[in-house]
Amino acid sequence: MATLAEPAIQFTRLPHPAPVAADVRAAVVADPGFGKIFTDHMVVIDWEEGKGWHNATIGPREAISLDPAAAVLHYAQEIFEGLKAYRLADDSMALFRPEANARRFNQSAERLAMPALPEDTFVEAIKQLVAADKDWFPEVEGGSLYLRPFMIATEAFLGVRPAKQYKFIVIASPAGNYFKSGAPAVSIWVSDYTRAAPGGTGAAKCGGNYAASLVPTAEAFARGHDQVLFLDAAEHRWIEELGGMNLFFAFDDGRLITPPLGGTILPGITRDSLITLARDEGLTVSEEPYSLDAWKADAESGKLIETFACGTAAVVTAVGTVADRNGTFTIGSGGPGQLTGKLKDRLVEIQRGSAPDPHGWVVKL
């Protein structure tokens, strides 16, 4: 909906009456965990039909007021993104492929009948927030500032149609090392539920997908597993992805397989980056359907040597065991494999500026 003629949006800085005291902040960022502590500021931009994006502010992070009839509360017109600001060796900060998040955000917006946000505004909003909250960067090994841009339909109207008013908001949360290095491989439960169906919203990063995955995820936890895996909706045979991470399968002949993007899988930026890095390493990567049956047979024959999951939050995580109603099988030795560790290190080194960035992915702040 943005046109090229639209002038770049200007952000108004609202003063913060009471930022968190430095000593309190230092104490919380020393052990941030994930997603439970938030910084002082947030970005808000409004959209209205006929007016477009306007009223861009960066101000105190505070509760937002919504009419109880706001469309997001009834029909779940909501999308989000997740990315991190990293600290580089020279103490400066950087983002990793933020324009890819901006593009995906607009693809999600299109599927949820929401207005597009100019990509440069998306990236600028994030830069402004990181600059305002740079003191919240956690001083822990592997720490990052996790950024959560999202958009909600705010119009008060109970009819079923796309809303005519929205808010784009960005909040930030200091994050520790999600899975510390040397983390054990995770155990996976193959769900009987499906996450996404052809023609549905599986490729959109929308809250509704997550609402629907909570019961399957709780079931996996209750059975003693760490993560849930979803198969395709039509045949319940083809591997799709975990609750919030994409999957890769590594074979003894140097091949790597990842399920293809066909509208039911979230197009992960980590997934895309690892495809490139694996090819750089001389591996053959194919995006092709891979079945649960083949996975089990290949793990048992030894053809399949490693499986890993990937996403911004946890980067790269090895899969150790897989269970469904028919039993359990183990991948390799059941622990993190060599290729998993190597690809993770390659990616993390680029993100943190300790290795060259041949693909121009790092955006310095």
Ligand X SMILES: *Cc1c(COP(=O)(O)O)cnc(C)c1O
The residue ranges that bind ligand X (CB under 6 A) are 82, 205, 241, 244-246, 266, 268-271, 311-312
- To the nearest whole angstrom, how small is the minimum distance from the Cβ of residue 299 to ligand X? 22
For residues 100 and 154, give the distance between their C-alpha atoms in angstroms, rounded to a whole number. Answer: 26
Closer CB to ligand X, 275 or 339, in the complex: 275
- To the nearest whole angstrom, how small is the minimum distance from the Cβ of residue 214 to ligand X? 13
Return all residues near 266 (Cβ < 8 A) that are at least 6 apart: 202, 203, 205, 209, 241, 244, 246
- To the nearest whole angstrom, how small is the minimum distance from the Cβ of residue 285 to ligand X? 16
What type of residue is 48?
E
Closer CB to ligand X, 25 or 344, in the complex: 344
- To the nearest whole angstrom, how small is the minimum distance from the Cβ of residue 255 to ligand X? 22
Closer CB to ligand X, 155 or 241, in the complex: 241
Closer CB to ligand X, 83 or 305, in the complex: 83
For residues 156 and 75, give the distance between their C-alpha atoms in angstroms, rounded to a whole number. Answer: 12
Return all residues near 165 (Cβ < 8 A) that are at least 6 apart: 46, 47, 48, 49, 153, 154, 155
Closer CB to ligand X, 44 or 245, in the complex: 245
Closer CB to ligand X, 244 or 259, in the complex: 244
For residues 153 and 132, give the distance between their C-alpha atoms in angstroms, rounded to a whole number. Answer: 26
- To the nearest whole angstrom, how small is the minimum distance from the Cβ of residue 88 to ligand X? 20
SS3 93: strand
Closer CB to ligand X, 60 or 207, in the complex: 207
Q: Among candidates 147, 105, 72, 152, which has minimal Cα distance to 2?
A: 105
Closer CB to ligand X, 232 or 241, in the complex: 241
**DSSP strand pairing (246-251 vs 304-311):** antiparallel
Measured over the CA atoms of residue 128, residue 24, residue 85 and residue 36, the dihedral's sign is: negative
For residues 77 and 278, give the distance between their C-alpha atoms in angstroms, rounded to a whole number. Answer: 36
For residues 324 and 236, give the distance between their C-alpha atoms in angstroms, rounded to a whole number. Answer: 12
- To the nearest whole angstrom, how small is the minimum distance from the Cβ of residue 246 to ligand X? 5
- To the nearest whole angstrom, how small is the minimum distance from the Cβ of residue 264 to ligand X? 10
Q: Please, what is the Cα angle at 319 between 318 and 321, to 5 degrees?
A: 150
Closer CB to ligand X, 149 or 311, in the complex: 311
- To the nearest whole angstrom, how small is the minimum distance from the Cβ of residue 163 to ligand X? 22
- To the nearest whole angstrom, how small is the minimum distance from the Cβ of residue 216 to ligand X? 12
Closer CB to ligand X, 167 or 271, in the complex: 271
Scan for tokens 């983002």, then name that residue. Answer: 95
CB atoms within 10 A of CB 321: 17
> Which two structure tokens, joined as six digits, stand for 162?
């796309």
How far the first Cα of the chain sits from its last, in Å, is 28
Measure CA 339 to chain center.
22
- To the nearest whole angstrom, how small is the minimum distance from the Cβ of residue 107 to ligand X? 12
What type of residue is 243?
G
Scan for tokens 């590594």, then name that residue. Answer: 250
